[in-house]
Amino acid sequence: TSASTYDYIVVGGGTSGLVVANRLSELENINVLVIEAGGSVYDNVNVTDTGGYGNAFGTDIDWAYKTEDQEYGGGAPQTLRAGKALGGTSVINGMVYTRAQKSQIDAWETVGNKGWNWETLFPYYKKGEGFQVPSHYSWLEGSGVAYEPADHGYKGPLKVGWSSDQLNDGLAQKLNTTYQNMEIPIPYNKDANGGQMVGYTLYPKTVDSKLNIREDAARAYYYPYKSRSNLHVWLNANVNKLTWKTGNDVTADGVEVTLANGTTSTVKASREIILAAGSLKSPLLLELSGVGNPDVLSKYGIETKVNLPTVGENLQDQMNNGLAFDSKTKYTKAPDYVAYPSVSQVFLNATAVGKQLLANLPKYAAQVASANGNVTKSKDIERFFKIQWDLIFKAHIPVAEILLEPSGYTYDTEYWATVPFARGNVHISSADPTAAASIDPKYFMLDFDLQAQTQAARFIRELFQTEPFASMTGSETSPGLSSVAADADDEGWSSFIKNNYRSNFHPISTAAMMPKEVGGVVDTSLKVYGVSNVRVVDASVMPFQVCGHLQSTIYAIAERAADIIKAEN
């Protein structure tokens, strides 16, 4: 069934887009069309296999966006992965389900988004969640997984829990003892999803525990509902840009779309267009439609419809590095274990580090502003940086994520500083919607970002020298002490880190929810400034990075977005 005009068009059938489409189509008199560039991956084993992380990389369901050469981060370009399929990036991600530290979401309100704080978002995390209680799955006995009942939702569409990849050989418990034995102990955190993340924890994932397959946005929010006659999905269809009504206010009336067969046409929406194409695409669709920085648009002959220069700015991502160690025992499964240390658990001299960073904030803000031609203003960025500083040094959010992954005779680790200060951008580089964009996260532009990434590596070395773990491990195989000496200074770590990092695949904030006067692109109802009926509901709107992985927060934002839209219409 297909209507000629829809009430809402959702651009991008990914993590956020399918949530909004599902919730809006609960209203029977509302017609919703989702336009998705990729196809269905329901039966794709690279998607469903809970142990298959990475298998989809480089296949046709991975956009594999390329960045500009990273001037401060090793010189080479980086690959930014993103899912091109119904379900979006949730079909290729690591399935980790962790939220944020309470104070980080409260900071969204501090920056000027009235009504966006932990207390208002927490119910939406739970609304989407269908938590699977671990005691119902016998293979989890002895695995150490635990949870706080009040922190979870049980009736939502998105299955969250643990898969059979979890080990129950005592490793989780030994790791816990090791963390407690560190020079500055890392406490055990029974459940990191209640707004307090610091500590060692066994987090849940987006998995169907019964079937032992990946849970993604399409499995949760689309397939069980696809018989709704008012929920329409076009696959393998690329949205090129918005189309505008003629008139005085700026109102979209549809989108231009290129279908799988190569034909291009226009499809109309009577109420709203909802952008959910991801943080590396939604801002580009605004630019291609004439909403953005006139200096960028005019370069490609695009007429400015709305002068909103910060579209595509404020890009924030994290950098991922790893150390590897030999294991004395062989592991047949590959689960992962996480610790979230705070700044005083990672830096022995945290007070001095904080003081120095605070003194550097004006300089950092000026550097960011000058790198983007003062499109974002130094004084505003300095304020954002001070909020971020307060989160790190006063609210004691986790300053790093440390993942430990046993597999075979190896302990792999992955780690990242959670809240880098660098701000980059994404912009069109052509008026052709199929052309590659210019993406520049500016990894390692600011010294503190490297300092935090370095200190987290030292933290991992200390972990592996602490009992009982120390007796369970052989030597460090990467980078190894011959490459980075045991007593290496920051400089000694720098080339290993800069030449071996990858994106942590958490790009956000390219259409940030903030007041317009400080550089926001959308308001607190997620509407684009200067446009009457276009919203952005994906990772682009998050004003600050969160310490948990992104998906849980994106699902929650999209759940709330749907309620906001419903209330207005």
Q: Which residues are catalytic?
A: 506, 549
- Count of residues in the chain: 569
Calpha distance 269→251 (Å, rounded):
11
Contact range with ligand FAD by CB under 6 A, out of 312-320, 376-384, 424-432, 543-551: 543-551
Task: Using the minimum distance from each CB to ligand FAD, give the nearer residue, 38 or 134.
Answer: 38
Exactly one of 7, 24, 67, 88 binds ligand FAD (CB under 6 A); that residue is 88
Counting residues that bind ligand FAD (by CB under 6 A) gives 39
Exactly one of 73, 74, 83, 292 binds ligand FAD (CB under 6 A); that residue is 83
Task: Using the minimum distance from each CB to ligand FAD, give the nearer residue, 13 or 199.
Answer: 13
**Alpha helices (runs of H) in 8-80, residue ranges in sequence order:** 15-24, 45-48
Is 379 exposed, middle or buried (CB count within 10 Å of its CB: 0-12, 13-18, 19+)?
Answer: exposed
Does 536 help bind ligand FAD (rule: CB under 6 A)? no
Helix or strand holding residue 361 (H, E):
helix 350-371
Contact range with ligand FAD by CB under 6 A, out of 29-37, 316-324, 470-478, 510-518: 29-37
Task: Using the minimum distance from each CB to ligand FAD, give the nearer residue, 186 or 277.
Answer: 277
The encoded tokens of residue 29 equal 């008199």
Exactly one of 6, 7, 13, 449 binds ligand FAD (CB under 6 A); that residue is 13
Does 534 help bind ligand FAD (rule: CB under 6 A)? no
Calpha distance 357→366 (Å, rounded):
14
Quickly count: other Cβ atoms within 10 Å of residue 436's Cβ. 11
Exactly one of 41, 96, 463, 556 binds ligand FAD (CB under 6 A); that residue is 96
Q: How many CA atoms lie within 13 A of 131 on its CB side?
A: 22
Residues contacting 407, CB < 8 A, separation 6+: 331, 334
In the complex, minimum distance from the CB of residue 280 to ligand FAD, in angstroms, rounded to a whole number:
8
Beta-strand ranges (E) seen in 153-311 are 158-160, 199-201, 207-208, 213-214, 231-234, 238-244, 252-258, 264-275, 291-292, 306-307
Using CB under 6 A, which residues numbered 250 to 279 contact ligand FAD? 276-279
Does 90 help bind ligand FAD (rule: CB under 6 A)? yes
Cα 562 from chain centroid? 20
In the complex, minimum distance from the CB of residue 393 to ligand FAD, in angstroms, rounded to a whole number:
26
Task: Using the minimum distance from each CB to ligand FAD, give the nearer residue, 16 or 321.
Answer: 16
Task: Using the minimum distance from each CB to ligand FAD, give the nearer residue, 316 or 454.
Answer: 316
Does 204 help bind ligand FAD (rule: CB under 6 A)? no
Exactly one of 163, 293, 316, 551 binds ligand FAD (CB under 6 A); that residue is 551
Quickly count: other Cβ atoms within 10 Å of residue 501's Cβ. 22
Does 198 help bind ligand FAD (rule: CB under 6 A)? no
Does 37 help bind ligand FAD (rule: CB under 6 A)? yes
Burial letters 461-493, b for 16+ CB under 10 A, else e: bebbebeebeebbeebebbeeeebeeebeeeeb
The encoded tokens of residue 101 equal 């530290």
Does 35 help bind ligand FAD (rule: CB under 6 A)? yes
Calpha distance 174→142 (Å, rounded):
12
Residue nearest ligand FAD by beta-carbon distance = 14
Does 549 help bind ligand FAD (rule: CB under 6 A)? yes
Task: Using the minimum distance from each CB to ligand FAD, give the nearer residue, 100 or 514.
Answer: 100
Calpha distance 15→93 (Å, rounded):
11
Task: Using the minimum distance from each CB to ligand FAD, give the nearer residue, 8 or 385.
Answer: 8
Does 501 help bind ligand FAD (rule: CB under 6 A)? no
Q: Where does this chain bind ligand FAD (CB under 6 A)?
A: 11-17, 35-38, 81-84, 88-90, 92-96, 238-239, 276-279, 281, 505-506, 538-539, 549-552, 554
